[in-house]
Every structure is written in structure tokens, then in C-alpha cells.
A and B are shown apart, each in its own frame.
Chain A
Amino acid sequence: MARRRSSTQITLVLIGTVTLVGCSQQSAPSARDHYASLEDCAADWGRPESCERVQSSGYPGGFLFWGPLYAANARNNALNDARRNATPNFVDPARQNRAIGSSKAPTSRGGFGSSSRSYTSGG
């Protein structure tokens, strides 16, 4: 029997469900806090599900934790909202900031993209 050379099944998990640039553009500057432990992150943001473990060779154990994205000029509001959502009877927003850093460091942008002219980049 001849070898079949077309895919027998094609499953898509992303496209068709997102708009073209839906996760590519944010209208306002955003930031994420970095934590040395899941416990610290969960304490700030109300629950561990809000935190994401990422590999990072510069930290003990080889990884750190990111809190959720928030508008860079509204961190306190974001913290309060997150804690309130995590704890329905939450009353006291004055908790210690356990973050070891945030992603708001000065960064230059626009150094790529100037050559695209009127062409698309594909061939």
C-alpha cells in the first residue's frame, strides 16, 4: 500500500481563536513584579495561581516567579483588586511589598523594524 503523504489530522489551538494582534499590543505601559519564591508572590497577589514560575539562571534554584501584569502607573490598585478577588472578606490593603524587582527598567525600543519599507518580510 502506498505511503500516505498528507496529514491525517490537523488540530489548531491558537489561531482562529485570537485576533491578529490581540496579544501583541498593549495601549499602556505594563509591568510585572519578580519574586524569589512562590510564597512571596502569592502573599502580594492573593493566591499562587496569579504567579508564574520562569527559569532564570540568575536566581537561586534557577528560577523566579512573576506576578500578574498590571498598569505600570497603578500598582497599588492592581494589588488591591487582586487581593480582594482572592479573598472576598479582604479589608486591609496595607501589606508588605515582597517583590525583589519589577520589569519597569529603562529600555530602548524601535531598534528593529525600520527596513520593512513597503514590503512584507516573507519570501
Chain B
Amino acid sequence: MRRELLTPRSGWQSEMESIGFHYHSIDGTYWDESRCYAFSESEIDQLESATAELHQMALNAAQQVVGSQRYEEFAIPAEWVPAIEQSWNAYRSDQPGGFTLFGRMDLSYDGASPPKLLEYNADTPTACLEASVAQWQWLQAARRDADQFNSLHEKLIDAWRTLRAASEETRLHFAAVSESQEDWGNLDYLRDTAIQAGWQTFALPVERIGWNGTKFVDEFNVPIERLVKLYPWEWLVREDFGAALPTSTMQVVEPAWKMLLSNKAILVVLWELYPEHPNLLPAYYEPAPLGSKYVKKPKLAREGANISVVDGPEVQATDGDYGAEGFVYQAVAPLPRFEEDFALIGSWIVGDKPAGIGVREDVSPITRNTSRFVPHYFE
């Protein structure tokens, strides 16, 4: 794994906009092709096999949580347990009600030591358009003879196609917060892949979803059969319409059982089930077993908010409004550093298979939503 410095293509901005990537320069520099990461094939093999194994272990951890009723550790309200278990059982029996489209694991990997799981963004993973289309387009222009770990596009279409074949419904409604350009860029891309798989699709802001007393409906009062949301479950369940969700017939992508994998408490369960696994870091509900060096993470948080990296008396922390549900404490796996930049691997799962990676860079060791997306290739 190495970083190469490049001259950006002239006119790359219009190239990105042509694929719907309008937020390429959000907060300054976001898409950054002034550099790229080069991997060897064996490194990609290692990332792919670790991702597949970690996903399988995460599913086993979810089964452990369900089987042992450990919902309190995950700060999941009791009224939500039936919905989680129903969707989990549907997933286990390959029924459409348990359908999962995707997830993204954040890994610390330096090309030498085994990849380490930092967290699993299993509910609302973003940077999908970037990882799938944007860096593929860059590959065609900048490293045409090389390969890239990226089959997201066809795997997304295949997943939608599989769901279409198993479902009676024909419509998908896509929803996200109205003002988030990044979320809509991702959601429109997912919608594009669903259309290519034969779905009839509609989009609406999550704020405009309606409840008519028996069904959730769109802004034209058309019943929503299956909602593809880029909006966290933990927010949905606590909002005004949340109480109606468990009794409604509306299916949701990602399904309710993903509340288990996207919660940082899953890191503690994973370490319990697979102690000393080379792709896991020790994780606990208290810092004592980790000594004076650890990372403190809220069970429910996004975009690197409210994370503290503790090294004895030194504490490096990000701000935010999360943490009310409690914290987990994880051993430190330093991100590899290239000059002043730290690099993090986002490794994608589509359906239940590894589908590619994206690299994020930041001058901070804590990756945030503003961290730059850097393309990669391997040979």
C-alpha cells in the first residue's frame, strides 16, 4: 500500500457532475485526485477475505444478541424488539422482509498488519457513489491498465434484482433529509441501480412521508410498500411516527435488524465471541481492561462525532451531540500515515459479499464526513 501524488485531470469537476457527484468539493476539497493509493493484488485479497469474514462474524454476533436478548446493551427500546426479531428471522430464512442491500466497514490497514475493524456502518453507509462510479471513472482515465477493487455497481443491481424476483411489490420509495446534498447524491445513485433492476422508483424528503392512520404514504398519498431510507433507524424509532412503524406493513431497507450491526456495542459482542481474532480490536463497555490507551466511542454516533482518542493524559476528541446511550472503549489501531495525512479504508458489503473499497484521508486521525475521498488502484 503506497500513496502516489498526481496532477488532477483538467475538467474533472464537470466529469464528476456528469455522474451526479455534485458535492465533489463540499467543505473545500472532498474528492481528491491529487493523489491515489496503490495496492498489490495480495493486499486486495487480504482486504476482501477479511471483509467477508468480518461480515459473517457480525451476523453471528447479531444472532448472539437476539438469542440472548441483549437489547439493553444496545439501548434499543423494548417496543422495537419484535420488529428487529421479525426482520432478523426473515433475513435468516431468505424472505424479502429481511432484505439487506449494503454496509461499509471502516478498517485500519497499513498493508503490513491484518486489517482491523474500527466500526461497521451497516445502516446508512455513504460515499457509495464515490466508491462505485467516481473512482471507476477516474480509473478509466488515469490508470486504465490497472485494476480496482470495485464491483459495487453490478452487485447493487444484482441485489435489487434478487429482491425484485422475490417480492410481490413493484415500487420502491427513496427518502433522505431534504437539505443534504451528499445524502441525495448517494440515494439517487442507489435509485439509479434499482431502476436498472426493474423497479419503479419514487423519491421524497423523509420529512414529507405521511401517515394516514393505517399506512405510510408519499406526498401523493400513494402507499409506501418498501422504503429505502438514508436516515438512521435510531432516529426513526424515536420520532413522532416511530410508534407506527412496528405495526405498519411498510418494509424498510436497511431492515430493522441492522440496528444491531450499526451500533458500536456490536464491537464488544464481537470481541467476546472472537477474542484475539486478527481482524478485531479488544472492545469493552469500560476502559479499565485497555489501560491508559484507548478510543472512546458513543454506541450511537455518526461521522466521527464525540470520539475521544485517549493516550494517558493526552486526549484528542471530536465534538457532537451523541453519547446519551453510552459508550464503548476500543483498543487503538493507528491509521497509516502518509506525510501528514491519515488513511482509512471503507470496505463495502453488498448483499452478503465484499464489493470494493474506498479510501478516506484526513490530517486528523479521526475520520469525519469532511475527510477527503481518494481513488485507488491495484496491480
Indicate if A88 sits at the interface (CB-CB under 8 A).
no
Chain A interface bracket (under 10, 10 to 19, 20 to 34, 35 or more): 35 or more
B204:A54 contact, CB within 8 angstroms: no
- A21 contacts across to B, CB distance below 8 A: 178, 184, 203, 205
Within 8 A of B (CB), among A29-66: 30-32, 54-55, 66
Interface string of A92-117 (1 = CB under 8 A from B): 00000000000111111111111111
A120 touching B180, Cβ below 8 Å = yes
8-62 of chain B: CB within 8 A of chain A: 17-20, 22, 41, 44, 48
A121 within 8 A of B: yes
Q: Which residues of A contact B147 (CB under 8 A)?
A: 2, 4-6
Which of B17, B136, B196 is close to A6, meaning CB atoms less than 8 Å apart? B136
Query: With an 8 A cutoff between CB atoms, is A89 at the interface?
Result: no
| Known contacts A105-B221, A120-B126, A120-B369; is-contact A111 B238 (Cβ 8 Å) | no
Task: Please state if B184 and A20 are interface contacts (CB–CB under 8 Å).
Answer: yes
Contact A6 B219 (CB under 8 A): no
Known A-B contacts: A24-B203, A107-B212, A111-B241. Give 7 more (CB < 8 A): A16-B18, A32-B222, A110-B208, A110-B240, A113-B231, A115-B235, A121-B183
**Is B338 close to A, CB under 8 A?**
no
- Interface flag for B361 (CB, 8 Å): no
Q: What residues of chain B lie closer than 8 Å to A66, measured between beta carbons?
A: 222
Residues from chain A with Cβ under 8 Å of B139 in the complex = 6
Contact A5 B149 (CB under 8 A): yes
| Contact call A7/B231, Cβ cutoff below 8 A | no
CB distance from B362 to the nearest CB of A (A): 15
Q: Say yes or no: A20 contacts B22, CB within 8 Å.
A: yes
Task: Determine whether the beta carbon of B241 is less than 8 Å from that of A122.
Answer: no
Tell me whether A6 and B148 are in contact (CB under 8 A): yes
The answer, yes or no, to whether B189 is at the interface (CB within 8 Å) is: yes
Question: Are A20 and B220 interface neighbours, CB within 8 A?
Answer: no
Residues of chain A within 8 A (CB-CB) of B136 are 6-7, 10
Partner of A14, one of B195, B207, B212, B241: B195
Q: Mark B167-190, 1 if CB is under 8 A from A, else 0.
A: 011110001111011111110110
